[in-house]
Amino acid sequence: MTSPFVPGTSIRVAGASDGPLAGLTFAAKDLFDVAGQPTGGGNPDWARDHPTPTRHAWAVERLLEAGATLIGKTITDEVSLGILGENPFEGTPLNPRAPDHVPGGSSAGSASAVAQALCDTALGTDSGGSVRVPASFCGLYGIRPTHGRLDLRGMLPQAPSFDTIGWFARDADTFARVSEVMLGEVIPAGLPTRLVIAVDAFGLADESTSAALQPLVRALASLMKEVREDLLAPPGLSIWSRAQRALQPYEAWLTFRDWIDRVNPRMQFNVASGLTLASPIPESERQWAGLMREEARARLRWLVPPGTILCMPTTPFPAPKKGLPFSVIGPLRARLNCLTSHGGLTGVSQVSVPGATVDGLPVGLSIVGGRGSDASLVAVARVLGARR
Amino acid sequence: MTSPFVPGTSIRVAGASDGPLAGLTFAAKDLFDVAGQPTGGGNPDWARDHPTPTRHAWAVERLLEAGATLIGKTITDEVSLGILGENPFEGTPLNPRAPDHVPGGSSAGSASAVAQALCDTALGTDSGGSVRVPASFCGLYGIRPTHGRLDLRGMLPQAPSFDTIGWFARDADTFARVSEVMLGEVIPAGLPTRLVIAVDAFGLADESTSAALQPLVRALASLMKEVREDLLAPPGLSIWSRAQRALQPYEAWLTFRDWIDRVNPRMQFNVASGLTLASPIPESERQWAGLMREEARARLRWLVPPGTILCMPTTPFPAPKKGLPFSVIGPLRARLNCLTSHGGLTGVSQVSVPGATVDGLPVGLSIVGGRGSDASLVAVARVLGARR
């Protein structure tokens, strides 16, 4: 059970005959509608309660119109609630760079398909890290664009104030070509000029991961006019994580509760448990988290104004082994969230690039910019990729 | 998906050639070990983490030695955590008396197999009502014996201070024959002489159910020397239910938490959710519940001393429709529990007999006696059955 594709599906939709992505292939996470195919959402009881879509999702349509050919739908953690990419109903997609390790999720199959070179790019979603984490674990380029920038029509929602569409590529050029189409914006030749090194984020990562990323940080710094160290989250990354854990799971509960009531779906224990624990998160906690979210947004506006980018480890460590017990996974997940929660909280843009390897396992370096900086971040990734 | 048998299994173990049950067939709930067969427990991730048993469970061995032939393993609600008999992994066994309605659970397949006449008797388990409820919903004889009386070896546990082995039959004579073997005690010819009618239990049931059971209550009363009305639970059946809901789910959590940690199993949402909500039940609540349990035991010792039995509706209503949403099922489950929680709390014996029909759907009348009264209750069931 290591295929990245949804079991039992066989999908091919040819892209437009000419277009900027003509000749490329792509896959779509099974949260995106493909006309005539059930959207499964990674859960055996989602599709039977939801009609088969008659239209493609906006993101799928966008790539098809640009000439890319859809070659499959990929496995996701159940209804995007997962960060490791272990789906017991459909299988754990192979991480070809680390076969005994998880691929990362929830866009697990999309990352796996690209990393295995089964397609050139793939659509994912990122609410709490679901593109960034698998990009890091599989050694890929991946983007979480500015929240609200892309059209989410035809995408199975999780937590609307966090949900974004992202994509993966193995090389920086393909990543830039696809990004240009998805963003509808030329990737600029010029780069930002100021770099913030997020010392709290490097401090929270494993020492071996932080150390392994230093050469790429230096390469990035050499492209900039100014480099300084600063905190990403002055109150603590764990405080931002806590605020995110009050808001996003509760929103997800609101998204899924009617379906759960109707269907009593089969789920992996931790997914059902997470939703159960989210439902009673008190208003007082969510109010506090909302205030902290505003403060985090203000922090990022100040920290990465136009022309400034921030770098940090995408994940605090490379991919954990597959099949670890709950009691081991829980603390790992909590640390992962400390390095991803700023994205959903603030809605800024983030690109993860292949950063280094630790004991042979890939780990990503992330470049974070303010809202709307997406093309600029892709430009940085392209230059870094060309220097490799 | 309405077979009562575990999908993919085909089991036949011949009983001893002579014995009191020679010629009878039986099935065993998939919580009982059958040598050489995986014990699935109704969950797709139980067997892969537990070795295939090399010995029969005590209860299976007992029936085989008495001459009955095992003809299958039956579907259970996941790890016995359910009361309706809807298992989305293996199917909902047919309730032949009410095909659009649930069979009741968790001994759903065992009740269904007997009700469909696919075998003469079947083993179930009853921790919180899992024999009594399907007996009521399927129109069968069923027993929850005195807690601690029978040997639970080879039975997948749920909540040890609540767990019992029970069995079903379509007719009172078969029920008595099987009970004699399982209890290792002759079913006496003489009957108890005093009857308590549990007015609180009849009051909690639907009016139509209580009314439908009156003819059988009168028939039962006519066998007795003394009849009086009294409360089963002076503090309230809902209070006993609350105490039971503090103790049993927490014990179940202790039983299953290591497996959950290792395996992160797939589960129906409500099963995972129930375990999640059980884990933080506070010590203070469990302490109170333990005291209430002692009071309930004292109440039953006083209420049904030797020679006295109590009657009550087994369930407050007949089988609900299949596939109802959570928000409808929740309150129904809560009322069901009000009529079953005395069993697990106090460990007394209870036999459910086919009581009446309401709109064509069966509902059971229960006879409750003190600890050790099992054979005596079966004797009452046999006489009532003969008078039908």
Q: Compare CB distances from B325 to A261, A270, A275 and report the shortest one's residue.
A: A261
Q: Compare CB distances from A266 to B88, B261, B327 and report the shortest one's residue.
A: B88
Domain boundary among B183, B205, B224: B183
pLDDT digits over A254-311, tens only?
A: 999 999 999 999 999 999 999 999 999 999 999 999 999 999 999 999 999 999 999 9
In a domain? residue B45: yes
Q: Which domain holds residue B310?
A: 194-238+281-386
Do A174 and A231 share a structural domain? no
CB atoms A268 and B268 under 8 Å? no
Q: What is the CB neighbour count within 10 angstroms for residue B2?
A: 15
Q: How far is A156 from chain B (nearest CA, A)?
A: 19
In a domain? residue A173: yes
CB atoms A273 and B272 under 8 Å? yes
In a domain? residue A7: no
Do B107 and B74 share a structural domain? yes
Average pLDDT over residues B130-150: 98
What is the spatial order of strands in the sheet that B226-230 belongs to?
Answer: B69-74, B25-29, B121-125, B165-169, B141-144, B349-358, B361-369, B308-313, B194-198, B226-230
As given in the structure block, the two tokens for residue B177 are: 């024959």
Q: Chain B residue with minimal CA distance to A270? A: B264
pLDDT digits over A138-152, tens only?
A: 999 999 999 999 999
A116: Cβ contacts below 8 Å, ≥ 6 apart = A4, A94, A96
pLDDT digits over A56-90, tens only?
A: 999 999 999 999 999 999 999 999 999 999 999 99
In a domain? residue B4: no
Do A65 and A91 share a structural domain? yes
Is the torsion defined by CA of A45, A49, A53, A59 positive or negative?
A: negative
Q: What is the CB neighbour count within 10 angstroms for residue A8?
A: 7
* CATH assignment of the domain containing B134: 3.90.1300.10
Report the alpha-carbon distance of residue A208 to residue A233 in Å, rounded.
Answer: 22
Nearest residue to B140 via CA among B315, B347, B373? B315
Q: What DSSP letter does each residue of A226-248 carry, written as one string?
A: EEEEE-S-TT-HHHHHHHHHHHH
Q: Which residues of A touch B272 (CB under 8 A)?
A: 267, 269, 271-273, 276
Report the alpha-carbon distance of residue A29 to residue B90 in Å, rounded.
Answer: 28
Do A73 and A218 share a structural domain? no
Interfacial residues of A (vs B; Cβ cutoff 8 Å):
45, 86, 88-89, 260-262, 264-273, 275-277, 325-327
Q: Chain B residue with minimal CA distance to A266? A: B268
ipTM of the complex: 0.89
CB atoms B273 and A269 under 8 Å? no
Nearest residue to B132 via CA among B92, B97, B105? B105
Q: Which residues of B touch A270 (CB under 8 A)?
A: 264
B301: Cβ contacts below 8 Å, ≥ 6 apart = B370
Q: Is the previous residue joined to B106 through a cis bond, with omega within 30 degrees of 0?
A: yes
| pLDDT at residue A386, as a whole number | 86
pLDDT above 90 covers a percentage of chain A that reads 98
Do A225 and A148 share a structural domain? no
**Predicted TM-score of the model (pTM):** 0.93
Confidence category of residue A1, pLDDT binned at 50, 70, 90? low
Interface probe for A, chosen from B273, B321, B322 (most Cβ of A below 10 Å), is: B273
For the CA atoms of chain A, what is the radius of gyration? 19
In a domain? residue B5: no
Do A230 and A119 share a structural domain? no
pLDDT higher than 80, residue B387: no
Report how far apart, in Å, the C-alpha atoms of A194 and of each of A145, A199, A220, B295 are.
20, 16, 10, 73
Do A113 and A65 share a structural domain? yes
Q: Which residues of B touch A267 (CB under 8 A)?
A: 266-269, 272
pLDDT digits over B13-31, tens only?
A: 999 999 999 999 999 999 9
CB atoms A88 and B45 under 8 Å? yes
Nearest residue to A30 via CA among A95, A80, A68, A67? A80
Do B369 and B233 share a structural domain? yes
Do A224 and A137 share a structural domain? no
* Number of domain units in chain A: 2
pLDDT digits over A158-197, tens only?
A: 999 999 999 999 999 999 999 999 999 999 999 999 999 9
Q: Catalytic amino acids of B?
A: 29, 106, 130
CB atoms B264 and A89 under 8 Å? no
Q: How far is CA A319 from the centre of its chain?
A: 14
pLDDT digits over A226-265, tens only?
A: 999 999 999 999 999 999 999 999 999 999 999 999 999 9
Confidence category of residue B388, pLDDT binned at 50, 70, 90? low
Q: Which residues of B touch A326 (CB under 8 A)?
A: 260-262, 264
User: DSSP state, B188?
Assistant: P
b/e A241-271 (16+ beta carbons within 10 angstroms → b): bbbbbbbbbbbbbebbeebbbebbbbbbbbb
The residue that leads in pLDDT, A326 or A34, is A34
Domain boundary among A151, A183, A215: A183
Report how far apart, in Å, the C-alpha atoms of A225 and of each of A31, A351, A369, A387, B204 are.
41, 20, 16, 18, 78
Confidence category of residue B1, pLDDT binned at 50, 70, 90? low
Q: How far is CA B135 from the centre of its chain?
A: 7
Do A338 and A302 share a structural domain? yes
Report the alpha-carbon distance of residue B44 to residue B221 in Å, rounded.
Answer: 47
Interfacial residues of B (vs A; Cβ cutoff 8 Å):
45, 86, 88-89, 260-262, 264-273, 275-277, 325-327
What is the phi/psi pair of residue B356, to 5°?
A: -175, 180
Q: How far is CA A353 from the centre of its chain?
A: 12
Interface probe for B, chosen from A264, A270, A329 (most Cβ of B below 10 Å), is: A264
In a domain? residue B250: no
pLDDT digits over A326-359, tens only?
A: 899 999 999 999 999 999 999 999 999 999 999 9
Do B217 and B95 share a structural domain? no
Nearest residue to A178 via CA among A382, A387, A386, A383? A382
Cβ(B76)–Cβ(B4) under 8 Å?
Answer: no
CB atoms B88 and A264 under 8 Å? yes
In a domain? residue B249: no
pLDDT digits over B259-305, tens only?
A: 999 999 999 999 999 999 999 999 999 999 999 999 999 999 999 99
Tell me how many residue pairs between chain A and chain B have CB atoms under 8 A apart.
73
Query: Kind and range of the H or E element at B270?
Result: helix B269-278
Report the alpha-carbon distance of residue B268 to residue B76 in Å, rounded.
Answer: 13
Domain boundary among B161, B183, B205: B183
pLDDT higher than 90, residue A387: no
Strands (E), chain A: 25-29, 69-74, 121-125, 141-144, 165-169, 194-198, 226-230, 266-268, 308-313, 349-358, 361-369
In a domain? residue A214: yes
Q: Chain A residue with minimal CA distance to B89? A: A266
Q: Which residues of A touch B277 (CB under 8 A)?
A: 276
Do A323 and A203 share a structural domain? yes
Query: Kind and range of the H or E element at A343?
Result: helix A326-346
